[in-house]
Amino acid sequence: MFNFLNSTVLFAAAAALIPLIIHLFSKRRVKIIEFSSLKHLKAMQRRQVRRLKIRQLLLLILRMLIILAVVLAFARPTLQEGGLGSHASVSAVILFDNSASMNRYVADGDLFDLARKRTEELLTTFGEADQVALLPLDGTTGGDKAARFATAATAADLLMRIQPGTKKADLQSGLDKALELLESSDNLNQEIYIVTDRQRRNLPKRPVLSSSDARICFLELPMEAVVNSGITGVDFGGQLLMPGHEFELSATVMNYGEDDRDDLIASLFMDGVRVSQTDVRAAALAETVVRFTRSVSHTGFHSGWIELSDDKFALDNRFYFSLHIPDRFNVLVIRGDRASDFVSLALTPSEEVNQYWSVKQTDPDQLSGVNFRDYDVVILSGAPTLSQTYVERLWSFVDGGKSLFVTYSAETDVDQFNRTWSPSTGVVIDQPAKTSFSRAGYYTFSSVDLEHPIFSVFGFENGQPPGVKFYTLPELHLEGDSRVLLRFSGDRPALVEHRRGRGHVLTFTGPMSPEFSDLTGHAFFVPFVSRIVEYLAADLSSVELDLTVGDPIARSVNIRGSVQAAIRMQAPDSNVYSIPPEEESDRLVFRPQPIDLPGIYSASYLGREIDRFALNLDPAEADLSAVDHDQIVSALGARDPHRFQPDTDLASAVSELRFGKELWQLLLWIAVLLLLAEMLLARGSDVEESP
């Protein structure tokens, strides 16, 4: 049975009629002239004319066949049946998984190397006329050149340049690109080969192949049961980090295997030096938290990592982090009630702490000389009334990533509070606190969010906050997306957290002054206020811990003056890259590239380090659990797929799948032979017609 791969050319077959049309229009008209005594010549003429007409008819047929053969050759006719080693041209897309999960060891060796060797074997099954596209599933190798058809030799060169990646595989995008490439191909044999570890978390969200007629083939790899443990995260608990002060950091260890592990060791490295280690017992398919206590000796940038003992998948055995401790933490207290003096004293209880804390008080009418950007935390004690100019500057301060702590007092102007502060605190006051009351009754703290970093460090007995007395409270309700961290008796919100822009806003709704409560004289007051401000300033002493390799990021740092030079970024492999910076207000913004390695990155400007950040493996890549063949076939929507085991002879298996033989070369040879015959026949005709 015939197929035509370029059937649109068949319309040109009508050109085979051109020689016939020319013949009909140029046919000679015979004029009869009678001569006497020429009977024998007339008999000879009839014989010659008969012979000439036969040759002309043969020439006409040959010329029509030549045109028809050429047209058919360009239409690429194909036989459906084909023998072993003989097949029509192939358009094939190979999806090669080079994600982080492939960079591990199995019983037969390195899984990535095994996949590459298997793909090399597959490439030998293609001929010179076949089209092959090799697509790495992490998208890092080859770029646009990989996303198009080339020869098998070109694909083999690309395969040798592909390295084990650190990103997750994007199988869905790879399949979409494969189908797009095959749609542009006219070859009879269209194939998609998938070389992957079938990681469960990388399955596409829709059956991409459900409507495809391409032949789907899976190259199986020698998989084995998951035996892997990794670190999925590090947490500093919202602590304020200061030189010489111990801080606690915890690491989450995940055991992905089905057996308990008691042979693990976790080590803490600070600034490149191992400073602590501990044994880890990890239950099967469960998380375990490991805690370390450490301190640093000076301000500035610090970095480190927590490392787990080796296993067959090493990439998730380290989790990197970086810290930046400012030389001083600057706090501005804007007076609105008597409690502002107590708040300031609570923040600097000793000279040791005062070395790193700078607390300044000012009145609302003295803000003209204050630049909020010089401070890390602003405290509105008693929620004083401010002009709209300073209110807008404060909100800009918070939107930029700084923090605000608002306290209520009996002197607070409720209407002004609701107009100015409610939209960004989430607290709306319905009735002010009474200024005339009996001390016979009081409110106290009733419940606390012990999971929040502010209170997680307190060892409250039976989980109950201390019995601080408040003799009067305002009536209020909450709006927006606010979180209550502490409550008074009667289920009244006491401490409310609200996010605005990149910053935090905390609001304490109980009056702190001694005439309204005994909070300022209670032992809980100093650690309570200090912990609130430490939490609000904590973002200044630790950088992001959730950055993963490959994800686009933008870094923003404070800088004084105009940008004069490029930023130099040193990657974990010690390579240095020049990055053009951008200016946004008084901040310098840069977009690091390349960022495809886990580890510590350092950025310098004019010879001074201005930023340090850590990138880690996507935790999803550490889960090596795989689906079986039927599950991935169902997820992809593949119809009648073929499965090649690791010991399958690909050369014979693939050839048996392919079918058809293209006839265009044969037709071109036929056209050439017909042309030669036409030339010889035409030459003989010319000789006979010559006098």
Q: What percent of the chain has pLDDT over 90?
A: 58
pLDDT, tens digit, 9 for 90 and up, residues 134-174: 999 987 655 555 678 999 999 999 999 999 999 989 999 99
Both 165 and 67 in one domain: the answer is no
Provide CB contacts within 8 A for 53, sequence distance 6+.
none
Q: Is residue 435 part of a domain?
A: yes
Amino acid 85: pLDDT: 46
Amino acid 67: pLDDT: 82
User: DSSP states of 445-512 as a string?
Assistant: EEEE-TTSHHHHT---GGG------BS---EEEE-SS-EEEEEETTTEEEEEEEEETTEEEEEE-S--
Both 374 and 502 in one domain: the answer is yes
- Over residues 640-645, mean pLDDT: 94
* C-alpha torsion sign, points 544, 549, 551, 556: positive
- Over residues 236-262, mean pLDDT: 88
pLDDT for 260 beyond 60? yes
Q: Is residue 403 part of a domain?
A: yes
Both 178 and 108 in one domain: the answer is yes
Is 684 buried (19+), middle (13-18) or exposed (0-12) by CB count in 10 A? exposed
Both 303 and 350 in one domain: the answer is no
Both 262 and 286 in one domain: the answer is yes
User: DSSP states of 651-667 as a string?
Assistant: HHHHHHH---EE-HHHH
Query: For position 287, which CATH number holds?
Result: 2.60.40.10
pLDDT for 661 beyond 80? no
Q: Is residue 550 part of a domain?
A: no
Give residue 453's pLDDT band: very low, low, confident or very high (50, 70, 90): confident
pLDDT, tens digit, 9 for 90 and up, residues 588-624: 889 999 999 999 999 999 889 999 999 999 988 899 9
pLDDT, tens digit, 9 for 90 and up, residues 484-534: 999 999 999 999 999 998 889 999 999 999 999 999 999 999 999 989 998
Hey, what's the torsion of the CAs at 336, 337, 338, 339, to 10 degrees?
A: -90
Take residue 638 and report the two structure tokens written for it.
């593949």
**For residue 409, what are the domain limits?**
329-540
Both 318 and 333 in one domain: the answer is no
Q: Is residue 240 part of a domain?
A: yes
Both 654 and 670 in one domain: the answer is no
At position 244, the amino acid (one-letter code) is: G
pLDDT for 5 beyond 90? no
Query: For position 176, which CATH number holds?
Result: 3.40.50.410
Both 397 and 470 in one domain: the answer is yes
Both 316 and 363 in one domain: the answer is no
pLDDT for 394 beyond 50? yes
Q: What is the chain's length?
A: 691
Amino acid 350: pLDDT: 61
- Over residues 184-204, mean pLDDT: 91
Both 368 and 493 in one domain: the answer is yes
Phi, psi of 425 (to 5 degrees): -105, -20
Q: Is residue 247 part of a domain?
A: yes
Q: b/e map of 60-72 (b: 16 or more CB within 10 Å)?
A: bebbbbbbbbbbb
Amino acid 427: pLDDT: 96
pLDDT, tens digit, 9 for 90 and up, residues 52-96: 777 777 877 877 888 887 877 777 676 655 444 445 689 999 999
What does the mean pLDDT of the chain come to?
A: 86
126 close to 132: Cβ distance less than 8 angstroms:
yes
pLDDT for 4 beyond 80? no
> How many domains, the chain?
5
* C-alpha torsion sign, points 47, 51, 54, 60: negative
Quick one: residue 648, left, alpha or beta (phi over 0 = left, psi -120 to 50 = alpha)?
Answer: beta
| Cα distance between residue 650 and residue 234, in whole Å | 46
Query: For position 452, which CATH number holds?
Result: 3.40.50.880
pLDDT, tens digit, 9 for 90 and up, residues 280-331: 999 999 999 999 999 999 989 999 999 999 999 999 999 999 988 888 889 9
Q: Is residue 42 part of a domain?
A: yes
| Cα distance between residue 6 and residue 367, in whole Å | 80
Q: Is residue 549 part of a domain?
A: no
Within its chain, how far is the Cα of 159 from the centroid?
Answer: 23
pLDDT for 250 beyond 90? yes
H or E stretch including 218?
strand 215-219
Q: Is residue 438 part of a domain?
A: yes
User: DSSP states of 71-96 as a string?
Assistant: HHHHH-EEES---TT----EEEEEEE
Both 446 and 371 in one domain: the answer is yes
H or E stretch including 18?
helix 18-25
Both 569 and 653 in one domain: the answer is no
Amino acid 457: pLDDT: 81
